[in-house]
Structure 1
Amino acid sequence: MQPTTTYPQGPITVLSPAPAHPEDHRASAPRPAGLDGLTVGLLDNNKPGASVILKHLGELLRRRGAAEVLYWRKPHPSGPTQYVSEAAKQADIVISGVGDCGSCSSWSLRDALDVEAQGRPTVTLVSQPFLQKTRIEADALGLAEAPIFAVEHPMATRSDDNLRIEAESLLDAITKSLVRAG
């Protein structure tokens, strides 16, 4: 029952954004020992600049030993997609993003966590203003330790070269989140 206060205009009910029944803690998917021979999945949420960052990360991971890079692009940034189950079946590790607004950062995280729940390690990319919000959501969804990385905001106005440089700066941290330390 939500607290209700009566005013001359009528009752006002205060709603809490906290889930009534927080999801149980989810376990992270097991991380492989290294990149050698793995298939990398890139789950692009269709935001400007996302394809540049994700595809460059895929190429950099291939240079580090990944065997193949698969790419899926959602038709819309926010909302569910059949690509989540495809990524979980076809890729060994998955990068989801790049969320640079409230709803698309939520869906990039949700997509990643749904892949992770199917046993594939993931990371989520969001822009800096949405990093803290996305971490809070990961906690509420049961995986507080979900790897989430921030890119500079806004992405839509940045050059492709600048986005590739950003991908390079995140490569080591993303790699460490996707595979076991060796």
Structure 2
Amino acid sequence: MIDPTGRPPAEATGPRRAARPERLEGLVVGLVANPKKNAEQFLDAVGDLLAAEHGIADVVRTRKTSITDPIPPATLDELAQRCDVVLIGVGDCGSCSAAAVADGIAFEAAGVPAAVICTDAFRVSADAMARLQGSPGYAYVTTAHPVAPLDEAGVRERARQALSDVLELLVQAPVPVAAR
């Protein structure tokens, strides 16, 4: 597979994950949407749920201008400075799924926990990009394909369905009682 971001293949090191917070309460969440239809709406719906149910302090939104290009370095740097965690998506085609995973890996390398959302039809593209970026097995959230034709209620329902998986990727896993 050719990397659509134009980056050279990375040495395989396994999934890299930034340190996770214990909870999202009081934190700033970055939303990195691609220009696909309903991507911003989906991420906004997840952001609304995080605010209502998990007490996030603020949301910082950005929209990429291309579904295939990596997030611009200046935008990545700005979000890494302003946000405690980021949510990236929605990968609703092969190219945007691959680019979303590349962006997630870039945020993780910058020390910012990321949750990437892709539709289930493009796992192959997302997994291939993770391997190309040197992070085979990189974890991301999947939602049913497609997202683009959904109406507002459908987008909100999909966001609700993805919420627990998003939280699993963004927040430190609790220590089981027996291990304490």
TM class by shorter chain equals 0.7 to 0.9
Structure 1 residue 133: Cα displacement = 2.6
Bigger radius of gyration among the two: 1
Task: State the alpha-carbon separation in 2 of the partners of residues 143 and 88 from structure 1.
Answer: 20
The number of equivalent residue pairs is 167
Write the distance in 2 (CA, Å) between the matches of 1:145 and 1:178: 16
Is the CA contact 1:131–1:148 (under 8 Å) kept in the aligned structure 2? no
Q: Supply the distance in 2 between the matched residues of 1:75 and 1:136 (Cα, whole angstroms).
A: 23
| Shift in CA distance, 130/89, structure 1 to aligned 2, threshold 3 Å | same
Per the TM alignment, residue 80 of structure 1 is displaced from its structure 2 partner at its CA by 2.6
User: What SS class does the counterpart of residue 21 from structure 2 fall into?
Assistant: coil
Aligned to 2:56: 66
Distance in 2, Cα, partners of 1:89 & 1:113? 16
Aligned positions of 1:7-156 closer than 5 A = 22-25=10-13, 27-63=16-52, 64-82=54-72, 83-156=75-148
More helix by share: 2
Distance 1:87 1:146, change over 3 A: farther
SS in 1 for 2:77: helix
- Assess, with a 3 A threshold, how the Cα gap between structure 1 residues 145 and 179 changes in structure 2: closer, same or farther: farther
Q: Which residue of 1 aligns with 2:177?
A: none
Structure 1: unaligned runs, 5 residues or longer? 1-15
Q: Which moved more, 1:59-68 or 1:21-30?
A: 21-30
For the Cα contact (< 8 Å) 2:28–2:83, is it kept in 1? yes
Question: Identity, % of aligned pairs?
Answer: 32
Matched, 1:164 2:156: yes
Q: Report the aligned-residue RMSD.
A: 2.2
Asked if 1:174 is matched to 2:166, the reply is: yes
Q: Please list every run of 5 or more consecutive structure 2 residues that lacks an aligned counterpart in the other structure.
A: 175-180
Using the alignment, how far apart are the partners of 1:21 and 1:132 within structure 2? 17
Displacement, 1:111?
Answer: 1.2
Report the TM-score when normalising by structure 1: 0.83
TM score, norm. by length of structure 2: 0.84
